[in-house]
Amino acid sequence: MTLHKAEKVVIITEKMILKGVCKIIEDCGATGYTIVAAGGKGSRNVRSTSDRALVIDDFANVKIEVIVKHKTMAETIMVQVAAKYFENYSGITYVEDVEILRPKKFN
């Protein structure tokens, strides 16, 4: 069997705090992350303009994905990002089960 269980943490938040979020991810020991530009609408209505028609032109958010081997590291990243930023910035975070090739690439 070539596949190994791992966890994917996703954080969707405001672009202006990207650097700080990435620092938490690295400080927690993750070996890498992927960033995608995103727009959208959140429960606080601050993840984009309130006019849906403009959403697609308004990529003021980022979606950050991190693959880690253990759920404890996943949960640590999620809790630290939420504790530091989600009182003052809009954002959500969730985790999904994935299966990876080459587990040596990940912590």
Phi and psi at 67, nearest 5°, equal -100, 125
Size of the site for its own copies (CB under 8 A): 52
At 98, which helix (H) or strand (E)? strand 91-100
CA–CA separation, 44 vs 90, rounded Å? 7
59 binds its own copies (CB under 8 A): yes
Q: Closest approach of Cβ 70 to its own copies, in Å?
A: 14
Rg (CA), the chain: 15
Q: Closest approach of Cβ 105 to its own copies, in Å?
A: 5
CA–CA separation, 45 vs 41, rounded Å? 6
97 binds its own copies (CB under 8 A): yes
Given the rule CB under 8 A, which residues bind its own copies? Answer: 2-3, 6, 8, 10, 12, 15, 18-19, 22-23, 31-43, 47, 52-53, 55-56, 59, 61-63, 67, 75, 78-79, 82, 86, 92-102, 105-106
